[in-house]
Each structure stands twice: as C-alpha cells, then as structure tokens.
Structure 1
C-alpha cells in the first residue's frame, strides 16, 4: 500500500512493509521498513534540513522523534528531481502508525514544513476484533 501527500509542490510517497524475519512476536518485537520518495515538482531547488516523526503503537503509546536530515543526509533536490531512502521502525505491538514532517528550505531561503502522510504499520500478527 502506498500513502502520499503534497505540500507546496513537494510530493511525498511512503510504502511501508513488515519485516517478519527481523521480528520476534514472542518478545513483542515487531519491525517495519518504509521507503520514502520525495519529489520536487516546484521551480526551485529544496533542501531537507530535519525530520519529525510521531509514532503510535496499537496501545496508543506515542513516541516523537526529531533529528537532522534523513538516514544521515540533508539532500538537495533540484526542480523536477527526487530523493529516495529506506529506513525502519520497531514497535512492541503488532500494529501502529506513524507520520510527520520535514523541514525544508527553498532556493530563495524560504523555510517549508512538508507533511509526510500518516501511514499504517500492519503485521500478520495483528488480531482484529469486531465488537
């Protein structure tokens, strides 16, 4: 499943996938990877400066993460260009969701907060009950 959002000509797509071989349900350890594509459809270069994540597990516990760049980089994305990366997130529950934003700066020095769409983290170990 793919999730997407656009903020001022910056289009973000996310594809999460469960990593069964790196998870251990017996120990409440569940791992996901997510692939993100950032497309600059604007007319000026943009640079990703920092990230913010809000990660929520199936019990409603929230973890917030802030940091410089992504995967150790602060990419400069030219007009019409894109940047892709893959990262991961562990949870103690078999499902959850996460979303956030990137702080970027445009070629003219304007700072932008670009939305990363909230995306679902679902594993085959999640049991759904209908009440």
Structure 2
C-alpha cells in the first residue's frame, strides 16, 4: 500500500489485477484500486475534483479530470475516513498512476491541493 499525507489529508492506495475483466490476448488489462482518504485536520474538508495521470508501459499517457470521485463529492470531518474503489484499463501488463485532489477547507472556504501517491499496476505473472 502506498500512502502520502498532504496538508493533513492522508491518501492511501491498494491495487488489484482483475483477471476476469482482462483479455491479455487482445492487450486488455484491467486493474482496480482502493483509495482511502483520512482527514487528520481540525476542520472539515470537501473533495471537489480529481486529476489523474496514467502511464502505460507501452508509452501511452492519459490524463483524467472530473468532479468528485465515483460520482460523489465527500465531506470528511476531523478524524473521518472515506474509502472508494475504482478501476483503470491498460493496453500493457504494467502501468502507473498518480494525481491530485482539489479540496476545500469548509471552515475557511479556501481550496487546496492534495497529492495522490504514485502507484503501480502490474499483472502478477510479471512479478515472478
């Protein structure tokens, strides 16, 4: 698991290869990732946007931006934890993702950026 803390917000990531949704013969590899966001601040925060950088080992680079995560813009009060699962498809057996969340301090109404730690997606047989 990869974790990073930015401005009192801890983001942790776990990845899982999805063989049932992959088709290696066609160059399609599906991965799921579980994100855990924890608010270690003394104020509530709201997650407004996400911005992902996706790198496929075949040289393909993509960016994905949008509101919230999995269709919601969660509010985390001090000590709260929010977890969600999403996925990423690759055209090769290995890739990497990293990114940022745009969050708002709900007390001060100021926006700030939170880093999402870089994580690798690797088909298990490539690790042998």
TM-score (norm 2): 0.96
Counterpart in the other structure of 1:8: 7
Tell me the SS of whatever aligns to 1:71. Answer: coil
Tell me the SS of whatever aligns to 2:124. Answer: coil
Counterpart in the other structure of 2:24: 25
Unaligned runs of 5+ in 1: none
Tell me the SS of whatever aligns to 2:126. Answer: coil
- The structural deviation recorded for 1:127 is 7.9
Tell me the SS of whatever aligns to 2:20. Answer: helix
Tell me the SS of whatever aligns to 1:90. Answer: strand
- Does 1:39 pair with 2:38? yes
Give the count of matched residue pairs. 127
List 4+ stretches of structure 1 deviating above 2 A: 124-128
Unaligned runs of 5+ in 2: none
Tell me the SS of whatever aligns to 2:95. Answer: strand
TM-score (norm 1): 0.93
- Does 1:119 pair with 2:119? yes
Distance of 1:127 and 1:40 partners within structure 2: 34
